[in-house]
């Protein structure tokens, strides 16, 4: 039932309780039954319950058809009902209180039950969108029903006599009509004939006798036939009244014994090689060719014919699984059932083992654009004492403990401005200093952030051969991750143990050359170099340590991989990273150009926030490439 009718019917039961209604509506003049030719005339009567006329209402009038669909009155003029599925309203603005609802002569074909509804609704409200919101009503719901007949009411007359039926014509012949012979059977099919309720299938047996049957479908499979015998068929369409149409053409078919396909190939083998797979199988009796089928990792099935019992599948992608099966094909094109499936994975021959570099030897990997990575030096495996061996250091350098370090590689120099520039130009990377407040520099007797001081300009002369500064721990690891992606090798920062092992280079003194800073051996306060206390020196400006590493004393603080621990209690003894859940603080080692010599000792440790950045901090390039 439509939503609007349901709403009105529901409201009918409530009209007696609607005390707020200001008018009483009712239909007048509608008879319960009308015949064809009679005139329907009836009105909607408005009976006011108050002395004053109300102007803030809309009149809704609708009729429910025998189909239960609704038609609504058009506005104002009360012209014929409209099928548009929306409510039409008219605001009362006159003193007319009787409205002609309908006036027409009953015509044949409109028989059925009709129900009319009328109600006043608060102006601008809707019985559809405000369904069951009874406060919008301003009257009762008027309802009246009638039934229309399809018969003419005459004093002595019967129903209108229907016209005689038209003369039926024969149906056309079914066309096209085909017969396909098989083993002991023939399959018939034809196009449907317009107006046919059924079809008669006629056929002549090999002995000359005629048979037939009736069916409603447009195909028939005639089974149990004699192979090699001749059968003749024709089809006729039959109308609803039983009138047979014109017969189809006759077709002749001879069933024959089915040909058997070859046996499935057996013992299929697949041998994978570089970018190819070689297939082999024994010959199958009765087969003149074979179909080789394959599928790549669940993808689409592909196939290729072959006349031999071997096939070399070339141009394949290495390291993908290829699934194969083979079918045998007879001279008439019948294919066998498939063989077993075999899986093969083409693979490139393993590369020759890389040459093992000796301790102290160096190498440089190549980036994808042809530029070179930082130079790496092979650091030999070994065992050393880690911490404040000489005494006089800090508590976080204790206890002194023995650590064994595996063979690894470490950057010969600190990462330079030129090397870091390749990374930034290739990726568009911005350091935390560039995205944030800038870089910490010493200016006018104070440490302060300077916006223009970034890795390109750390407030002092920077060339591509100077070490990159103003980089955080995150910036350093981003650069090394990029090197790993470019080369396929595991570049990373050194662990704290690896850094101290490489910086000491087999010594146990404060600096790898002794316990005194000396003159012009490193870049830090009171070290006697032209850069001491002023700025970084170009990498490699001082003598290398016994492992071939430069600037492990001074020049720049260097980031390590480990989070900060306040001392060495429980520290690992195998040189691996000492991890923890709190990684907000990281380690710096080695001192910088503006640090006193005491801070540049091999054992000295500094904790800083992993996102901090200043002109005294850099990192040692591409530490720890495993060999």
Mean model confidence pLDDT for the chain: 85
Give CA–CA dist 144/60, Å, rounded.
Answer: 14
Residue 6 pLDDT: 42
Asked whether the predicted pLDDT for residue 355 surpasses 90, the reply is: no
User: Same fold for the domain at 3-152 and the one at 362-618?
Assistant: no
Averaged over 262-280, what is the pLDDT?
A: 94
| Structure confidence by residue, pLDDT tens digits, 360-408 | 899 999 999 999 999 999 999 999 999 999 999 999 999 999 999 999 9
**pLDDT tens digits, one per residue of 309-332:** 999 999 999 999 999 999 999 998
Average pLDDT in the 16-41 region? 73
Structural domain boundaries of the chain? 3-152, 177-253, 269-344, 362-618
Cβ count near 45 (within 10 Å)? 16
Fold (CATH) for 177-253: Immunoglobulin-like (2.60.40)
Task: Tell me if 189 sits within 8 A of 150, measured CB to CB.
Answer: no
pLDDT reported for residue 89? 46
The yes-or-no verdict on residue 304 having pLDDT over 80 is yes
Using the predicted structure, report yes or no on whether residue 262 has a pLDDT greater than 50.
yes
d(CA 263, CA 336): 6
Closest by CA position to 560, among listed 587, 599, 600:
587
How many CB atoms lie under 10 A from the CB of residue 162? 6
User: Average of pLDDT values for 202-224?
Assistant: 93
Find out whether 233 and 247 touch, Cβ atoms under 8 Å: no
Given a cut of 90, whether residue 606 has pLDDT beyond it is yes
The pLDDT value given to residue 539: 96
Distance, CA of 190 to CA of 177 (rounded, Å): 5
Beta pairing class for 557-563 and 617-618: parallel
pLDDT tops 90 at residue 500? yes
| Structure tokens given for 626 | 């495993």
Instruction: Write out the two tokens for 409.
Output: 């590689």
Higher pLDDT, 364 or 24: 364
Tokens found for residue 420: 């870091």
Q: How much is the pLDDT for 91? A: 46
Helix (H) or strand (E) segment spanning residue 503: helix 496-504
Burial of 214 by CB count in 10 Å (0-12 exposed, 13-18 middle, 19+ buried)? exposed
Q: Work out the pLDDT band at 453, boundaries 50, 70, 90.
A: confident
Q: What is the mean pLDDT of residues 209-235?
A: 94
Say which residue, 349 or 91, is predicted with more confidence.
Answer: 349
- Among the ranges given (141-150, 302-311, 564-573), the one the predictor scored with the smallest mean pLDDT: 141-150
Task: Report pLDDT for 168.
Answer: 78
Percent of residues in the chain assigned helix, strand, coil, to nearest 5: 10, 35, 55
Q: Which CATH class is domain 362-618?
A: alpha beta
Q: For residue 378, what are the β-bridge partners?
A: 409
For position 87, what pLDDT does the model report? 46
Question: Residue 77 pLDDT > 50, yes or no?
Answer: no
Sign of CA dihedral 499, 505, 511, 515: positive
> Residue 108 contacts by C-beta under 8 Å, 6 or more apart in sequence?
36, 150, 160
Name the pLDDT band for 7 (thresholds 50, 70, 90): very low
Burial class (CB in 10 A: 0-12, 13-18, 19+), 123: middle
The pLDDT value recorded for residue 14 is 39
For domain 269-344, the CATH architecture is Sandwich (2.60)
pLDDT at 334 over 60: yes
Topology of domain 3-152 in CATH is Immunoglobulin-like (2.60.40)
* The pLDDT of residue 591 is above 50: yes
- Predicted pLDDT at 399: 97
**Residue 548's pLDDT is what?**
96
The residue-averaged pLDDT of 84-110 equals 65
């Amino acid at each position: 039932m439509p939503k609007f009718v349901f709403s009105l019917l529901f409201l009918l039961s409530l009209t007696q309780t609607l005390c707020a209604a200001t008018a009483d509506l009712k239909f007048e003049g509608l008879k319960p039954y009308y015949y064809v030719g009679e005139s329907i005339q009836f009105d909607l009567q408005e009976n006011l319950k108050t002395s004053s006329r109300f102007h803030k209402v809309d009149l809704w009038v609708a009729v429910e058809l025998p189909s239960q669909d609704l038609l609504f009155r058009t506005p104002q003029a009360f012209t014929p009902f409209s099928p548009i599925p929306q409510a039409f309203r008219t605001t009362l603005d006159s003193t007319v209180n009787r409205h002609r609802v309908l006036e027409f002569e009953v015509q044949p074909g409109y028989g059925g039950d009709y129900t009319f509804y009328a109600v006043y609704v608060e102006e601008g409200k809707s019985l559809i969108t405000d369904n069951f919101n009874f406060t919008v009503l301003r009257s009762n719901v008027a309802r009246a029903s009638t039934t229309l007949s399809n018969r003419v009411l005459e004093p002595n007359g019967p129903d209108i006599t229907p016209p005689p039926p038209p003369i039926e014509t024969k149906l056309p012949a079914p066309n096209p009509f085909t017969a396909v012979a098989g083993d002991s059977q023939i399959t018939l099919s034809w196009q449907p004939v317009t107006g046919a309720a059924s079809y008669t299938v006629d056929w002549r047996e090999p002995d000359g006798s005629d048979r037939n049957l009736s069916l409603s479908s447009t195909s028939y499979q005639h089974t149990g036939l004699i192979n090699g015998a001749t059968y003749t068929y024709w089809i006729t369409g039959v109308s609803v009244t039983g009138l047979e149409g014109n017969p189809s053409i006759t077709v002749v078919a001879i069933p024959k014994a089915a040909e058997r396909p070859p046996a499935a190939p057996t013992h299929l083998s697949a041998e994978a090689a570089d970018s190819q797979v070689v297939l082999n199988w024994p010959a199958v009796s009765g087969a003149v060719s074979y179909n080789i089928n394959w599928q790549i990792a669940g993808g689409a099935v592909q196939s290729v014919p072959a006349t031999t019992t071997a096939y070399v599948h070339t141009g394949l992608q290495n390291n993908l699984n290829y699934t194969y099966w083979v079918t045998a094909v007879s001279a008439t094109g019948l294919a066998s059932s498939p063989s077993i499936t075999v899986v093969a994975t083409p693979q490139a021959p393993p590369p020759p083992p890389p040459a093992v570099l000796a301790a102290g030897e160096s190498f440089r990997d190549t980036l994808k654009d042809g530029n070179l990575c930082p130079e790496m030096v092979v650091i030999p495996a070994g065992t050393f004492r880690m911490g404040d061996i000489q005494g006089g250091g800090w508590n976080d350098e204790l206890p002194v403990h023995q650590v064994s370090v595996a063979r690894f590689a470490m950057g010969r120099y600190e990462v330079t401005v030129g090397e870091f520039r390749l990374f930034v130009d290739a990726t568009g990377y911005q350091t935390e200093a560039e995205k944030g407040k800038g870089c910490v520099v010493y200016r006018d007797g104070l440490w302060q952030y300077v916006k223009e001081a970034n890795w390109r300009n750390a407030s002092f002369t920077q060339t591509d051969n100077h070490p990159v500064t103003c980089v955080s721990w995150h910036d350093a690891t981003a650069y090394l991750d990029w090197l790993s992606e470019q080369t396929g090798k595991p570049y990373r920062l050194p662990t704290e143990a690896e850094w101290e092992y490489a910086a000491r280079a087999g010594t146990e003194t404060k600096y790898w050359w002794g316990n005194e800073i000396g003159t012009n051996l490193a870049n830090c306060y009171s070290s006697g170099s032209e850069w001491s206390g002023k700025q970084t020196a170009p990498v490699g400006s001082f003598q290398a340590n016994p492992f071939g590493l430069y600037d492990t004393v001074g020049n720049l603080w260097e980031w390590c991989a480990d989070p900060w621990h306040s001392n060495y209690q429980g520290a690992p003894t195998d040189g691996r990273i000492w991890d923890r859940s709190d990684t907000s603080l990281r380690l710096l080692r080695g001192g910088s150009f503006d640090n006193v010599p005491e801070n540049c000792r091999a054992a000295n440790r500094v904790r800083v926030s992993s996102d901090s950045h200043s002109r005294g901090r850099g990192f040692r390039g591409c530490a720890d490439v495993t060999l």
